Amino acid sequence: MAMIQSARRAAGTAALTTRLFSMGPIASHSTALSAAGPARMASTTAAAVEPVQGGSFNVAPPASDKEEKKKEHEKAAAASYWGVAPTRVFKEDGTQWQWSCFRPWDTYAADVSIDLTRHHEPATFGDRAARQAVKTMRWAADAFFQRRYGCRAMMLETVAAVPGMVAGMVLHLRSLRRFEHSGGWIRALLEEAENERMHLMTFMEVAKPKWYERALVITIQGVFFNAYFLGYLLSPKFAHRVVGYLEEEAVHSYTEFLRDIDAGSIDNVPAPAIAVDYWRLPPGATLRDVVVVVRADEAHHRDVNHYASDIYHQRHALREVAAPIGYH
């Protein structure tokens, strides 16, 4: 059922992409570009925009823009030497797609109908150890962040984006080493890592990290990456179970986040532009809408990782079961 939904979602994405967007080299759209700038800024703190006729927007170039333009020109010249022109994507209304870190076909409307309460009851010693490990991490996060959920979300995402990349890398290398297919799991896990990284890019707009938080991220990443890598080599079943429980905690944290927004202790500010485009949120979307879709993503990650652990538990390899690609 989930796979059918994924396929439908992918088909819907493709159709929407064809309908709304076109793509081509810069040169063929230079005229349109000069007439219409991006509809939304790349960051909520980006330069000011000037409204022009027809309700669209045009960017007013800052006076000190010359150097930037020169650099861009040099970059374009280097790219064209190799015949690799940076592609730019345009919407149907002629405005340019402003994000280079993700494209229209990467965007989706989150499935917020997913059951948020599902929980894997620990059944084995490994399950209980995984649950305890996550409880300990949660205790540390509670002690450090308390109810500063913006900061907490941002820091959580710096960790949450690691397992998918590590697992995808290990499976990639295994596929090469053993001359065998992956069942789509490499892609599914890398998609999860990318999705988590988009959560981070979003929360960066809401909570700016301080220097000591950045230092903490570097330290935690150094420890967690290596621990998870080793753990995945020794027992992928255990590693996926840990992530399954981590995602259960993430769902809980975002529910608390929503509670604080609803209680008024966290300002329900406008959604960052990057989130509006990535999750196809309606105009006027707020931080609350963002937290709701991020929480739905975490619930999908929970299911995928518990599912992967269950596959190992049933003494199968992941490659024997088609991966849930596009499931988020």
CB neighbours of 221 closer than 8 A, spacing ≥ 6?
Answer: 158, 159, 162
Within residues 130-169, the interface with Fe ion by CB under 5 A covers 157, 160
Q: Where are the alpha helices (DSSP H) in the chain?
A: 2-20, 30-35, 66-81, 125-145, 149-178, 185-206, 211-234, 236-263, 273-278, 287-313
Which region, judged by CB under 5 A, interacts with Fe ion, from 34-42, 55-63, 70-78, 243-251?
243-251
Which region, judged by CB under 5 A, interacts with Fe ion, from 99-107, 211-219, 241-249, 261-269?
241-249
Q: How near is the Cβ of 65 to Fe ion at its closest, in Å? A: 35
Beta-bridged to residue 270, according to DSSP, are 286
Distance of alpha carbon 112 from its chain centroid, rounded? Answer: 16
Rule CB under 5 A: is residue 303 a binding residue for Fe ion? no
Rule CB under 5 A: is residue 240 a binding residue for Fe ion? no
Taking the C-alpha atoms of residue 176 and residue 164, their distance in angstroms, rounded to an integer, is 18
- Binding mask 192-231 toward Fe ion (x if CB under 5 A, else -) reads ----x--x--------------------------------
Taking the C-alpha atoms of residue 190 and residue 98, their distance in angstroms, rounded to an integer, is 23
Taking the C-alpha atoms of residue 321 and residue 318, their distance in angstroms, rounded to an integer, is 6
Half-sphere exposure of 321 (CA within 13 A, CB side): 16
Under DSSP, is residue 22 helix (H, G, I), strand (E, B) or coil? Answer: strand
Nearer Cβ to Fe ion (196/277): 196
Rule CB under 5 A: is residue 298 a binding residue for Fe ion? yes
Taking the C-alpha atoms of residue 264 and residue 83, their distance in angstroms, rounded to an integer, is 54
- Binding mask 76-115 toward Fe ion (x if CB under 5 A, else -) reads ----------------------------------------
Q: How near is the Cβ of 301 to Fe ion at its closest, in Å? A: 4
Which region, judged by CB under 5 A, interacts with Fe ion, from 172-180, 202-210, 266-274, 294-302?
294-302
* Site size for Fe ion (CB under 5 A): 7
The contact set with Fe ion (CB under 5 A) reads 157, 160, 196, 199, 247, 298, 301
